[in-house]
């Protein structure tokens, strides 16, 4: 691995994607039955994308654009939530509203989003206040909306690593970096002699229509695998600019990344500290499976009963809940505070 990194440091892209090292990578994969070619590597280019920008209650958010779905999910959910007097809602109403917003946003992820180089997506519409207002109209406060009743809704069997760091330096430079090999240890294969661990991000594609991936996410043509196409991610490295504070936030967690960052942003807007934000018990809804997945302590017992009475299904969080890292810059006192998730490193993920 060190030699491979040195080759990249010495020769840039060519130290990895072409020449002797590329040959070694291709041979190593092909020897195990894979089908990589030299052209696959030579043609791979890092693409810089414009980040997605939107505002939530006076806070300017700059976050990941497609091919991650994270930013679109955050924009849709927060735009829906903005229409409620969120600060004054009780805990049950808050969870209900957030769940209904998550359900609708992840529905769109399932049917619309994919690699922007392959799929035309109405991103401006999806992230607009008007679109959110339309979605909000379909939310009843007394009942959960069954996901299967939303347009394009289908019932599928629920299927059942990544790291994030947040930096603000002394000059005010900021970095929110989420890096992923997808499931723990990626594909579980290191190409001999290179130290390069292969990811298994292919699972982030919809490999068959409506077949859930390792995170239970479904998808259709928009996120179908095609040569040269990038798979849909949920990674959501995010900057949030409030008038008096700035946050750099992100987390691993597969399909739940966007909703973990969402809950973090809501707490940031409410003035919580970095340490409080990373420790908050979390819950999540991703359209299908049609259930709220809740971490211990996220929903009080009595509140759970009230939510069930509204038609929500609540399940225990079946897998660990991310490893959020967050920095807040308080512009009034010009101080920085960091929060690192007390849950620690994400453990085993059940891959079906």
Q: Between 110 and 162, whose beta carbon lies closer to ligand DON? A: 162
CA distance 28 to 12: 21
Reduced to 3 states (helix: H, G, I; strand: E, B; else coil), residue 224 is: strand
Q: Is 244 exposed, middle or buried (0-12, 13-18, 19+ CB in 10 A)?
A: exposed
Contact range with ligand DON by CB under 6 A, out of 35-43, 239-247, 253-261, 293-301: 253-261
CA distance 221 to 97: 29
Residues 317-346 that bind ligand DON (CB under 6 A): 346
Binding of ligand DON at residue 126 (CB under 6 A)? no
Q: Between 26 and 278, whose beta carbon lies closer to ligand DON? A: 278
Closest by CA to 101, choosing from 123, 87, 80, 84, is: 80
Q: Which of 61, 235, 242, 292 binds ligand DON (CB under 6 A)?
A: 235
Q: Which of 252, 264, 289, 339 binds ligand DON (CB under 6 A)?
A: 252
Task: Count CB neighbours of 292 within 10 A.
Answer: 26
Q: Annotated catalytic residue: which of 63, 76, 162, 259?
A: 162
Positive or negative, the CA dihedral 164, 168, 173, 174 is positive
Q: Which of 253, 264, 289, 339 binds ligand DON (CB under 6 A)?
A: 253
3-state SS, 316-346, equals ECCCCCCCCEEEEEECCCCEEEEEECCCCCC
Binding of ligand DON at residue 234 (CB under 6 A)? yes
Contact range with ligand DON by CB under 6 A, out of 11-19, 23-31, 45-53, 247-255: 247-255
Q: Which of 76, 110, 182, 187 binds ligand DON (CB under 6 A)?
A: 182
* b/e per residue 118-133 (b: at least 16 CB within 10 A): bbebebeebbbeebbe
Q: Between 308 and 352, whose beta carbon lies closer to ligand DON? A: 352
Binding of ligand DON at residue 64 (CB under 6 A)? no
Is 162 noted as a catalytic residue in this protein? Answer: yes
Binding of ligand DON at residue 233 (CB under 6 A)? yes
Structure-token pair, residue 192: 């001999």
CA distances from 270 to 7, 133, 173, 209, 264 (A): 47, 22, 24, 40, 10
Contact range with ligand DON by CB under 6 A, out of 10-18, 126-134, 233-241, 291-299: 233-241
CA distance 183 to 189: 12
Size of the residue set binding ligand DON (CB under 6 A): 14
Nearest distance in Å: CB 172, ligand DON = 28
Nearest distance in Å: CB 204, ligand DON = 5
Binding of ligand DON at residue 237 (CB under 6 A)? no
Chain contacts with ligand DON (rule: CB under 6 A): 161-162, 180, 182, 201, 204, 233-235, 252-254, 257, 346
Catalytic residues: 162
């Amino acid at each position: 691995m060190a030699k491979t990194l040195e080759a990249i440091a010495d020769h840039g892209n060519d130290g990895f994607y072409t020449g002797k090292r590329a040959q070694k990578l291709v041979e190593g994969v092909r020897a195990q039955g894979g089908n990589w070619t030299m052209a696959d590597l030579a043609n791979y280019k890092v693409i810089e994308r414009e980040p997605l920008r939107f505002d939530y209650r006076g806070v300017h958010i700059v976050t990941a654009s497609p091919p991650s779905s994270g930013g679109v999910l955050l924009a849709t959910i927060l735009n829906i939530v903005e229409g409620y007097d969120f600060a004054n809602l009780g805990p049950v109403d808050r969870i209900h509203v957030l769940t209904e917003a998550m359900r609708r946003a992840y529905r769109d992820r399932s049917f619309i989003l994919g690699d922007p180089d392959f799929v035309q997506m109405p991103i401006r519409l999806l992230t607009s206040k008007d679109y959110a207002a339309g979605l909000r109209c379909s939310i009843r406060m007394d009942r959960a909306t069954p996901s299967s009743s939303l347009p394009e809704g289908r019932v599928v069997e629920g299927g059942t690593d990544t790291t994030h760091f947040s930096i603000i330096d002394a000059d005010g430079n900021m970095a929110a970096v989420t890096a992923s090999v997808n499931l723990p240890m990626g594909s579980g294969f290191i190409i001999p002699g290179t130290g390069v661990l292969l990811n298994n991000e292919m699972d982030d594609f919809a490999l068959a229509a409506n077949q859930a991936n390792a995170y239970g996410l479904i998808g259709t043509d928009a996120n179908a695998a095609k040569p040269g196409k990038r798979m849909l991610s949920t990674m959501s490295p995010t900057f949030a600019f409030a008038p008096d504070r700035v946050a750099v936030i992100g987390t691993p967690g597969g399909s739940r990344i966007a909703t973990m960052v969402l809950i973090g942003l809501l707490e940031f807007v409410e003035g919580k500290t970095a340490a409080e934000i990373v420790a908050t018990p979390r819950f999540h809804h991703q359209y299908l499976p049609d259930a709220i997945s809740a971490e211990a302590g996220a929903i009080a017992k009595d509140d759970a009963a009230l939510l069930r009475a509204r038609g929500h299904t609540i399940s225990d969080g079946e897998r660990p809940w991310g490893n959020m890292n967050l920095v807040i810059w308080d512009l009034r006192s010009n101080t920085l505070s960091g929060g690192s998730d007390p849950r620690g490193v994400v453990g085993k993920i059940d891959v079906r």
